[in-house]
Amino acid sequence: AAGPVLWRRLLGLLPGRPGLAALLGRLSDRLGSYRDRRRRRSPWLLLAPLLSPAVPQVTSPPCCLCPEGVHRFQWIRNLVPEFGVSSSHVRVLSSPAEFFELMKSQINVAKRRVVMASLYLGTGPLEQELVDCLECTLEKSLQAKFPSDLKVSILLDFTRGSRGRKNSRTMLLPLLQKFPEQVRVSLFHTPNLRGLLRLLIPERFNETIGLQHIKVYLFDNNVILSGANLSDSYFTNRQDRYVLLQDCPEVADFFTELVGAVGDVSLQLQADNTVQVLEGMVHPYKGDRAAYCKAANKRVMDVINSARVRQQVLHAQTFHGDSLLTQEDAAAAGDRRPAPDTWIYPLIQMKPFEIQIDEIVTETLLTEAERGARVYLTTGYFNLTQAYMDLVLGTRAEYQILLASPEVNGFFGAKGVAGAIPAAYVHIERQFFRELCSLGQQERVRLQEYWRRGWTFHAKGLWLYLAGSGLPCLTLIGSPNFGYRSVHRDLEAQIAIVTESRALQQQLHQEQEQLYLRSGVVSSATFEQPSRQVKLWVKMVTPLIKNF
């Protein structure tokens, strides 16, 4: 028990305490292979990351004039833009069917923009319904008495979107051919898949090198953040998380610009199914890798930093002007939006471009969770980075980690090598559980497995309950899985939602409860079940492939 106490005291002696948590994790992954050879790891290893390079410090004092000054997470706005909204504009969805129907209805009423970022678009009848909705809306925009300037921008991953003869590209070609001035399809290609590696790695396996994994669905000023892809199972029986931000123009503008920035450094799909780079842009796998990554970093960071400055100016004008704008003044000026009681922070992770904002914020949140706090963390693919694992083991908050049972893993029953992936996750889960038991922490950190007949599980994110509170004040929701891929290989985006609204807190709490109610607590007996027996070759291969 002395280790964590000393760790807290050391942090207390150093300035800029919240930002210092972002120092964690730099050396942890490098030391991972050494630690895995040890039978018992100690929380003292948390001190090792202090030797790593520094990251941006969080130094701004709390703002006593602003309504958001009362919440303890305002340090995040030093890294990303902060969007204040009313909780009445935030709606938590619960089912794939609700998500699918909302997507179609939002497409049908869009007037100005539709922006969709996903790993891929499936090729079944439900996916065709979405494409048909887009076509119908585009046709209406041209036939209207006053034609609108509706633009449709779609961002997918190149390797996943090109898989098979019928694929995401062929699904979208009719839109490109019929509406060339209104539709843009961008296919992100990781700069790490190039040269001989690109020639030798076959289809499907090439997706392990790196992907466009962001899931954002935007219609005019309404934004859906999720972990769900545009595929039939995600519309029917694959459980995920979804949140709708209604009438949030600043948030919509940000994600439009973000998807546009990634689209600019991606390959552009042409009407003849070929791809091209934008004029003046470095090719992602034929051009110089360093030059490409530098250009991509600048393009994305320009979006983040310009939005952050815009929001800071808006914040200063609203709360720090010579005369503060009251709600009555705002209404008289034509702005009838309710005062904010909820704050949205977009967290971006693009390690190939040296952008690590989500990693920094997530590590800080896990470090700052104190005794009595409860963290509910869920992932469809339980494979925490070494840094996240050390934080869970070395801090004092209570954790309930929800993961997929083998039967609801998306790879369950797959053909070939992919069919062994659920067993590999069982092996990783068992190793982590053994470590919990060896450290005597199995009561503080509980593992729970989701199971639902005929369904698969893909939900990810966390809910943070402060000490003494029965409702969460913060949630993370989006595409990251808290694993090595999310941190180091793929392009990811999620949002931190901080709210003081009891109604929204109850929505988030209900969402968490609904997911956890379909789970069972993991114990030693769990791994004695016949379905949890892992073959020797899987155990041997897992350390080699877990980072892919």
Q: How far apart are CA 26 and CA 51, in angstroms?
A: 9
Listed in order, strand segments (DSSP E) in 278-418 are 342-350, 355-356, 374-379, 398-404
Neighbours of 518 (CB within 10 A): 17
Residue 140 contacts residue 182 (beta carbons within 8 Å): no
Encoding tokens for residue 2? Answer: 């002395």
Residue 508 contacts residue 378 (beta carbons within 8 Å): no
Greatest Cα pair distance, the chain, in angstroms, is 73
Q: How far apart are CA 412 and CA 414, in angstroms?
A: 6
- Is residue 166 among the annotated active site residues? no
Where do the H-state alpha helices sit in 355-416?
357-368, 386-394
Residue 153 contacts residue 116 (beta carbons within 8 Å): yes
Q: Which amino acid, 107?
A: I
Please name the residue that has the structure tokens 């503080």: 444
Encoding tokens for residue 363? Answer: 């590590």
Catalytic residue among 29, 220, 247, 264: 220
Q: How far apart are CA 487 and CA 180, in angstroms?
A: 36
DSSP string, 406-429: GGGSTTTT-SGGGGGHHHHHHHHH
- Is residue 215 among the annotated active site residues? yes
- Report which DSSP code applies to 483: B
Residue 142 contacts residue 149 (beta carbons within 8 Å): no
- Of the candidates 190, 200, 283, the residue with the CA atom closest to the CA atom of residue 485: 190
Residue 75 contacts residue 60 (beta carbons within 8 Å): yes
Opening angle at CA 244, ends 113 and 366, nearest 5: 120
- Is residue 89 among the annotated active site residues? no
Catalytic residue among 213, 351, 427, 509: 213
Catalytic residue among 89, 215, 427, 458: 215
Q: So which residues are the catalytic ones?
A: 213, 215, 220
